[in-house]
Amino acid sequence: MSRAEQYRQLARDFHFMARELPPGENRSMLLKMAEKCDRLADQEEQATDRRQERSKPARRREICLTEKPIRERLHEDGQKQA
């Protein structure tokens, strides 16, 4: 379970507990905690998306660095055919 999913689960739990309480300070506190957990889940999802986006160019660079330059490949292909 991801961190965002954990925060979402906590938010659901706080909402569930708040429903069982009469209006008042305790209920308000649980609802505030649920809102905070939802915000944390949103932030975590956004951070995960950013990390994934940043890793895509890094993977492309890694592939390019491991491939041989075109001239070398053409030269090798020419030697194989001769």
Among 6, 5, 3, 10, CA closest to 33: 10
pLDDT band at 77 (very low <50, low <70, confident <90, very high): low
pTM above 0.85, yes or no: no
Give the residue carrying structure tokens 């491939």.
67
pLDDT for 2-49, tens place per residue? Answer: 999 999 999 999 999 999 999 999 999 999 999 999 999 999 999 988
The tokens of 75 are what? 């030269």
The tokens of 54 are what? 């940043």
Say whether pLDDT at 55 is over 60: yes
